[in-house]
A and B are shown apart, each in its own frame.
Chain A
Amino acid sequence: MRLGALVRKEFLQIVRDPSSIAIAFLMPLFLLALFGYGVSLDAERVPLALVAEAPSTDSAEFFAALGGSPSFAPRTMDSMVAAERALLQGEVDGIVRLRADFARASRDANGAPVQVLVNGIDTNTARLVQGYIEGAWSAWLAARAARDGGALAVPVDIAPRIWFNGELRSRNYLVPGLVAIIMTLIGALLTALVMAREWERGTMEALLVTPTSMSEVLLGKLAAYFVLGTGGMLLSVALAVWWFEVPLRGSFWVLWAAASLFLLAALGMGLTISTLARSQFVAGQVAILATFLPAFLLSGFMFDIGSMPPVVQALTHLVVARYFVAIVQTLFLAGDVWAVILPNAAALAAMAALFLGLTWRKSRKRLE
């Protein structure tokens, strides 16, 4: 009866105070829309400057191969000077230059050099541009070889087969990852302030002198915010599947179960912060420092964990989002791969147990 009363109280508070509803439902909507559109690594219609010092049919043919790709928005420029200025000012992301002797040299044994200039400041875009140009170049070679009677162009040719995400849509992996990041923020933000708020408003003291035990207070909060968080999670998943059209290949129920474990861990983290800090000011500061940037940079959502130095890799094990990112990316794109899901789920369960246990231990029924 007491637990029920506490859960009911939390719900009434949630309903009356629109800020928690806003955190649980509007935040995912706002952030997912913003991130879903804002965060994309797919360069489309990359502006490219094409400079042919002596235009010929050969150079036109090469440029046509570049122009045919949806990846580029090429612009032909007269001089290298103009193209370099455009590159420096960020108007184009790369320059493809065919020297005056292109037509002649392409019939030489050594072949003609195609000079490619990219702006290395944004290394990732530079790499992508480079890759796209290489792709166009191979296509051009193949077409030319086919026309010339199938003469050997390259000894070894690559035939890539991309599993799980055939078109390599970055949205397909970013959106599920975002669900994990956003739920980390929401889980922590929902609960990071609630315990501190009870202390500051004096309601905790009034609760403490009733026969209610601390675990009941904690469970009441956990249950209410768990339901709220699940609502936010379902909304995010629905957006991912129906709005951003990310395929969900795994089972929805497995996702549900994993998400529940993750929510417990995220809410537990918030409760721990809240219990240890006891003032809203400190709790809020810690919540910001401990959630957003670590989840953004260290969860494997954006940057490959395997490529980090061992010390940093070890640190990522402390980031709750890391485990869930691994689970959702697999569940959405690959399916129910138990070998990925089980160990990560176990880690989530351990984190949840750790945080909730810590909260429970630290919140005794005393004021000290």
Chain B
Amino acid sequence: MMWRRLLALVHKEFLALLKDPRSRTVLIVPPLMQLLVFGYAASFDLKDVPFAVYDEDGGAAARELVAHFAGAPAFRLVATLRDEQALRPLLDTRRALLVLRLGPRFGADLAAGQGARVQVIIDGRNSNTALLALNYVRGIVQRYNEDWLAARGRAGPPAHLATRAWFNPNLESRWFFVPGIIGMLTLVTAMLVTALSVAREREQGTFDQLLVTPLRPSEILLGKAIPGLLIGLAQASVVLLLATSWFRVPFLGGLGAFYLGLTLFLLSGVGVGLLISAMAATQQQGLLGAFLFMVPAVILSGFATPIANMPEAVQALTWLDPLRYFLVVLRKLFLEGADLALLLPQLWPMALIALGTLTLAAWLFRHRMY
């Protein structure tokens, strides 16, 4: 009996969502386009960093060091300076991110074995880019040093670093961001499907019509949650396929674990959406609510900036953010190939959020009156 009523509700919700070609487009096209655009845009890997050289020495050794830079794909030589005055405007106007300055005694010091010094003047306006670029510079200079020492058969420093990165040996930042984008887009879809659905029915009066039928609030809730869940599952599957086939991000984990995590995440997202929707009297309020949830949820999820860097109070706030857990699940699944046991600490909080929000939403269906 209950299943038949539920099926009718789900069928109705699907018709309401997908019958109109425009809303169909809104649900399908933007996620795919956004994955493509954002997949390329979201990256901390630097390419073609514009740099300039102010070489006061001009010797062979100095030229060789500059050649090391110009040959690296991360750097692009944009100017060679003849005097110090030209340096400031170059950085001010952002035509160059950094300037390599080799002093007049560079070659001489190097030859004398006293240690030559190369000054790197870098634009710190975007501190993250500056730090990353400095790391690149270090790497290139280190290689130059190794070459130089090897060529002369000299002993190197007493210790050298041998770095290895687990799960992402080349530290490709796309491998980090693309799984994150999947989580973000799934959240947006869950909100688009649910956050306005009750408010819209309230404004049109059909919600009253539903409430006077023998349908129980839990049935109405399920009827509204299931379409969001199914659409989210379908969309995430397509996006997953695109992420692995187009962006070639390795997916080492099991699909079972992926879908379990996805389902729990969608349930919690749909729960929050329905809760907002049940609280809102108008679509406008629903929209504002969706927005006020979504923006912090993305910012505090650890999508781009690590949660560990946040102050304690803000970190505590992130415990309420379902996206936070799902991002960990996604990244561990994609890159680590983690098993269920390892994911468990992320799964139960999402289940808890889903349970709490869905229960509250169902209660509000009947108890929120205007």
Contact = CB atoms under 8 A, between A and B. Distances in A.
Given A333-B124, A339-B89, A288 B290 contact: yes
Contact of A337 (B93, B138, B141): B93
Given A38-B314, A127-B44, A303-B43, A87 B161 contact: no
B45 A307 contact: yes
B255 interface: no
A253 interface: no
Interface residues of A, number: 105
A303 B41 CA distance: 7
A283 to B, nearest CB: 9
Interface string A200-237: 00000000000000000000000000000000000000
Interface stretch (A48-56, A147-155, A256-264, A348-356): A147-155
A340 B93 CA distance: 5
Given A133-B161, A302-B304, A297 B127 contact: no
B24 interface: no
Nearest to B113: A152
Contacts of A112: 158-160
Contact of B159 (A106, A168, A284): A106
Interface in B34-51: 34, 37-38, 40-50
Interface string A20-39: 00010000000100110111
A180 interface: no
A150 to B, nearest CB: 8
A279 to B, nearest CB: 9
Contact of A163 (B91, B116, B184, B288): B91
A126 B165 contact: yes
Interface in A86-138: 87-88, 93, 102, 106-128, 130-131, 133-134, 137
B295 A31 contact: yes
Interface string B288-309: 1011001110111000111011
Contacts of B160: 111-114
Given A110-B156, A116-B161, A43 B308 contact: yes
A303 B46 CA distance: 9
Interface stretch (B205-213, B222-230, B330-338, B358-366): B330-338
Contacts of A127: 44, 132, 135, 171
A139 interface: no
Interface in A305-326: 306-309, 311-312, 315-316, 326
Nearest to A189: B291
Contact of A307 (B30, B47, B65, B134): B47
B120 A168 contact: no
Contacts of A131: 131, 134-135, 138
Interface stretch (A169-177, A268-276, A359-367): A169-177
A118 B121 contact: no
Contact of A159 (B118, B176, B314, B332): B118
Interface in B91-109: 91-94
Nearest to B309: A40
A160 interface: yes
A316 B38 CA distance: 11
B192 interface: yes
B80 interface: no
A298 interface: yes
A23 B48 CA distance: 40
A330 interface: yes
A37 B310 contact: yes
A155 B115 CA distance: 5
B173 A124 contact: yes
Contacts of A121: 166-168, 176, 331-332, 335-336
Interface stretch (B11-19, B143-151, B232-240): B143-151
B285 to A, nearest CB: 8
A164 interface: yes
Interface string B180-223: 00001000100010001000100000000000000000000000
A244 interface: no
A106 B94 CA distance: 43
Contacts of B141: 156, 158
Nearest to A311: B40
A153 B47 contact: no
A309 B40 contact: yes
A168 B132 CA distance: 11
Contacts of B56: none
Contacts of B176: 121-124
B287 interface: yes
A289 B38 CA distance: 13
A158 B142 CA distance: 10
A166 interface: yes
B310 A38 contact: yes
A162 interface: yes
Contact of A37 (B41, B45, B283, B314): B314
A126 B41 CA distance: 20
Contact of A165 (B37, B125, B137, B200): B125
B296 A293 contact: no
Contacts of B120: 158-161
A123 to B, nearest CB: 4
Nearest to A89: B342
Interface of B: 26, 30, 34, 37-38, 40-50, 65, 89, 91-94, 110, 113-132, 134-135, 137-138, 141, 144-145, 148-149, 155-169, 171-173, 175-176, 184, 188, 192, 196, 200, 283-284, 287-288, 290-291, 294-296, 298-300, 304-306, 308-311, 313-314, 331-332, 335-336, 342
26 contacts: A37-B310, A38-B299, A93-B308, A110-B155, A113-B160, A114-B160, A120-B167, A120-B169, A123-B44, A124-B128, A127-B44, A131-B135, A141-B157, A156-B110, A156-B141, A160-B134, A161-B122, A173-B126, A292-B291, A303-B41, A304-B44, A307-B47, A312-B37, A312-B41, A330-B125, A334-B125
Interface of A: 19, 23, 31, 34-35, 37-44, 62, 87-88, 93, 102, 106-128, 130-131, 133-134, 137, 140-141, 144, 152-166, 168-170, 172-173, 185, 189, 193, 197, 280-281, 284-285, 288-289, 292-293, 296-298, 300, 302-304, 306-309, 311-312, 315-316, 326, 329-330, 333-335, 337, 339-340
